[in-house]
Every structure is written in C-alpha cells, then in structure tokens.
Structure 1
Amino acid sequence: MSVSDADGTAVPAVLEDPDAPLRLSFDGPLAVLTLASPPHNLFDDAMWQAWFAAVDWCEQNVPRALLIRAQGRVVSAGVDVRIFRDTPAEKVEEYWRRNLRIVQAVERLPCPTVFAAHALTLTAAFEIALACDFIVAVDGARFGLVERRVAFTPAMGGTQRLAERAGVSRARELVMTGRLYRASTLADWGVVNALFGAATFTDEAHAFASDLATGPTQAHVATKQVTREYLRGGVAAADAVLSAVVHRVSGTEDHRRAVEAFLAHGPDHQTEYLGR
C-alpha cells in the first residue's frame, strides 16, 4: 500500500514516518490507519498527537472507507498510566475533552469505518473501536474498559457508546467490573459485527473494509445519516430526514449507473461503483 492517497494529497509526516506510532496508508479507495508502537501500542503523548493528525487528515480528505488495525501481539494495552499521574488537576477536564474529539471525529466521518481487533484491545483503543461503524475481531480477542484499575472511568466516550450498542445494563457491567470480555461474547451482545479466524484475520478484515470502500459510497453515507438521526430522536427523527436523504442519493452517478446495469443484467451485475 502506498503512503499517498489516490489523489496525491499530502499525508502528514507524523503518519508516514516509519517510526510513527500510527501510520496512514492506502489500498485504492481504502484508507488504513495502523497502530504501530510495539510492544503495547500505548496511548501516550506521541500516539495522541498522531491520532489528532490522522483525524484532521481524514476530515479534510474523506476516504471511501477507513480501516483501523494494529501491529503486534496486542491491539493496544490502552492509555499510558503515567498520564494520570502527570496531568495537572487543573488540566484534566481540558485534556480529556480534547482527546474525546478523536472519537467524535471518527464517528462523524461520512464514510464506512471498520475497526479490526486481532488481540487484546483496552480503554482508548476500545473506545475508538466503539466509534466505528463496524468492529471485526478474532474470536479470542479480548476487550475491556478497565479504568476501574486506576479508580477512573472511561474518558473517551466508551461507556455511552457501549450502552448505545449493547444497552445500559451491559455497559455498566463491563465498566464497573473492569473485566475482559471475549470478542465472541461481545458479538452476542451486538457490539462486535463479525468474527474471523486467527490465521486469516488480516486478509478477511481487509476484504471486509475493501468491500465497503468499493461499494456505493454515497448510499453508505445516507445509511449512516439515517441511523444517526434514529439514535438522536428515534423513528420520527429518522423519518423527518429520510426523503431529503434519498433525494440526494437518487442524484448520484453510482445510483443511476447501477439502476441501468440492474435493468440490463439483473441483480448480479458487476457495475463498478465510483463513490459519486
């Protein structure tokens, strides 16, 4: 995969340095962010700064899909605990409000987003995963919001986003117990979308994201908008925007071409979607 996007847009140096804790690369229309700070992919100052650069880039150069993954034995052991010791009390609220913007930015991206977890995924990394449209994982991967161990609470929106996916009771259970939960359990809860085998996980996760990246991008964006309105205000809120949303999608090139291809070749047509 290259280190420049299909349009040749410059990638921030912090994200293409071979020693960067987070790297941005591309496979056609798919952007890939890889946590690459062994052995634990901790969220320390360098990782935070890389994430700020990454979400800024993605907001300004929206890909057709985004895959977030990790290198190493773990996805991430979470937040560097020294941050809790070293952040002055008067700076705590500002510090976590700023970091929460990473999760909010990922959540707002007008493209499909996939988080791929091959192993242990804790705290900040899990919270970013919960901001994505899809979480795919190895069956045995473990997840946790384990802030209890430092008498803290998830500060990047994990509690409420877990409640959104699995219900308030499950969110309280996971956060208050501080236990680790297997991906298979979270799949039963509706938190993890798909489980892949360990031997084929990298390829299957990439294929999952690539399928979204080469799909009808504007229709995917519409689905995200409608579901977000539903979460804000229920069926009535989603209904209120739906007509305008489908009107916009009806004018896209992909929709027009796909309709003609369907009429000519049936539902199994092989039309290439262009994302517009």
Structure 2
Amino acid sequence: MLGAAHTPLRLSFDGPLAIITIDSPPLNIFDEEMWQAWFTAVSRLERDVPRALLIRAKGSVVSAGIDVRIFADTPSEEVAAYWRRNLSIVQSLERLPCPTVFAAHALTLTAAFEIALACDFIVAVGGARFGLVERRVAFTPAMGGTQRLAARAGVSRARELVMTGKLYRASTLVEWGVVNSTHGSAKFSDEAYRFALDLAASPTQAHAGTKRVLGEYLRGGIAAADAILPSVAHTVAETVDHRRAVEEFLAHGPDHSAEYLGR
C-alpha cells in the first residue's frame, strides 16, 4: 500500500491488478493534498506498470470536484503552469499500456470526471451523476475533460455538457457512449473489481497494442493508425501469450483455458 492511512487516496496491488482508492471524506475534494497524492500514485504506476488498473472511491460521492479556493489562491501568472501540471496526471494515466477502469458509484464532478475520461473504461451505478460544472465559477475544464468527452460522444455533446454545466446520469451517458456500462448499486463494487481483475488476467501485451493503435487513431485518424499497425502486430506476435494462445486454440478450440502471463 502506498502512503500513510491519512492520505486522500491509496494505491494498492492485488496480484496483477493495481487499485487506486480515493478516500478523503466527506466529499473527496481535489485540493493540493489530493493532487500530490495523485502525482505520487501515478509516478509509482509508471515505474511498476500493472496489468490493469481500477480507480474507485469510498464515501457517499466519488468526488464533489475541485476545491474552489484554488481559483482564488492561484496567481494569474501561475495558472497555465498549474493546470499543465495537473493535466499531466491525465496524460500519464492515458500512457499506461494496461487497461484502466474507473468505477463511479455516485456523484462524480470536474477533476474526478476528467480522470475517468482518461481511462479505457468507465463503469457506474445507473443513478450515478456526472458533471463538468466549471461554468459555476466561470471557468472551463482544465484537465482535458472537454476534448476527451468529445472523443467519446462527439463535439455537440461535449458542448452541451460543458456549456450547460448540468449533471447527467450514468444511464444517459451510456447512450452517449461516455460510460461503458451501468450496474445496480448492491453489487457494484464487486462487479467493478471482477471486471478489472479479468482484464488484469487477460493478454496484456495485446491490449497494449490495441491502446497504441487507438491512440494513433485519435491523433491522426485511420491513416495514422494503419501506419503503425504492422509494427504493432509484429510486436504482439512475438509475445509468449500470443504463441501459447494459438497453441491452445489449435489443440482445444476457441474455448481454451490458456493462462495469460502478461508477456
């Protein structure tokens, strides 16, 4: 486990699965202590890359968002550097080669929602609400949420969510393509954990290849993704997991039970 018990989030490892748990009651606010805890956790993940990452929260909300005092206390000449630093958390999470899952059981605002949008999967309780509500302080989302929302749901939906500052239920965001799946609240924690653990036990290097291809697509479209695909295919074809899975498939068919080692 990372850090002392009083830190606003914890990083733990369950075999191949890394788990970040946001736990800063009562509202899991993003203040300076929270930012620093995220930098520490992300730096550890970059050094010790897991086979999957689950991000979850404790308490009645996932997060009520950013500490508004930050806007009052940050000198204007430091604003760009301040948000460049915080944006790097999102960018580091996106660069992780493993599958990443954000589990939202309740209200998820501003910075927490932007971190969720940097993950490969968002799973949520159907009634959980999400919002980029910076409009309330005459600001714009500064951790990349706007553009990442547009990548998932389109520019029109991004404009709607950000410019209105309204809250949207997970059940609506599933229809938009922002949230991957919704679940009942009773077993949500266990279901999210099992989903992430299954990803951690799956062909890690193949997933890394998928993330590389999709990253190139987002940067440069189909042509850019096509340009790197042969090299990605070659890299994945050299992995132990691929060779073993092919052998098992040929011997036992598509329902084989090959164990993936992540290499």
Check whether TM > 0.5.
Answer: yes
How is 1:227-266 mapped onto 2 (pairs within 5 angstroms)?
227-266=214-253
| Aligned residue identity for 1:24 | L
Structure 2 equivalent of residue 117 of structure 1:
104
Separation in 2, partners of 1:91, 1:248: 42
Does the alignment pair 1:31 with 2:18? yes
Separation in 1, partners of 2:139, 2:227: 39
Structure 1 equivalent of residue 36 of structure 2:
49
Structure 2 equivalent of residue 89 of structure 1:
76
Separation in 1, partners of 2:177, 2:66: 25
| Aligned residue identity for 2:50 | P
Does the alignment pair 1:136 with 2:123? yes
State the secondary structure of the residue aligned to 1:199: coil
Structure 1 spans left out of the alignment, 5+ residues: 4-14
Higher relative CO (CA 8 A, sep ≥ 6), structure 1 or 2?
Answer: 2
State the secondary structure of the residue aligned to 2:254: coil
**Of residues 159, 165, 170 in structure 2, which corresponds to 1:183?**
170
Structure 2 equivalent of residue 60 of structure 1:
47
| Aligned residue identity for 1:208 | F
- The CA deviation string for residues 29-86 of structure 1, in whole angstroms up to 9 with x for no partner, is 0000000001100000100000001111111111100000000000000000111111
| Aligned residue identity for 1:65 | A
Separation in 2, partners of 1:233, 1:101: 21
- The CA deviation string for residues 136-191 of structure 1, in whole angstroms up to 9 with x for no partner, is 00000000000001111101000000001000010010000000000010000000
Separation in 2, partners of 1:236, 1:44: 41
Structure 2 equivalent of residue 197 of structure 1:
184
Q: How far 1:257 sits from its partner (Å)?
A: 0.6
Does the alignment pair 1:171 with 2:158? yes
Structure 2 equivalent of residue 10 of structure 1:
none
TM-score w.r.t. the length of structure 1 is 0.94
Work out the percentage of aligned pairs sharing the same amino acid: 76
State the secondary structure of the residue aligned to 2:20: strand
| Aligned residue identity for 2:185 | A
Q: Say how many residue pairs are matched.
A: 263
Structure 2 spans left out of the alignment, 5+ residues: none
State the secondary structure of the residue aligned to 1:16: coil
Structure 2 equivalent of residue 11 of structure 1:
none
Q: How far 1:16 sits from its partner (Å)?
A: 2.9
**Of residues 201, 204, 222 in structure 2, which corresponds to 1:214?**
201
Q: How far 1:230 sits from its partner (Å)?
A: 1.1
Separation in 2, partners of 1:226, 1:93: 30
Does the alignment pair 1:78 with 2:58? no
Q: How far 1:26 sits from its partner (Å)?
A: 1.4
TM-score w.r.t. the length of structure 2 is 0.99
State the secondary structure of the residue aligned to 1:33: strand
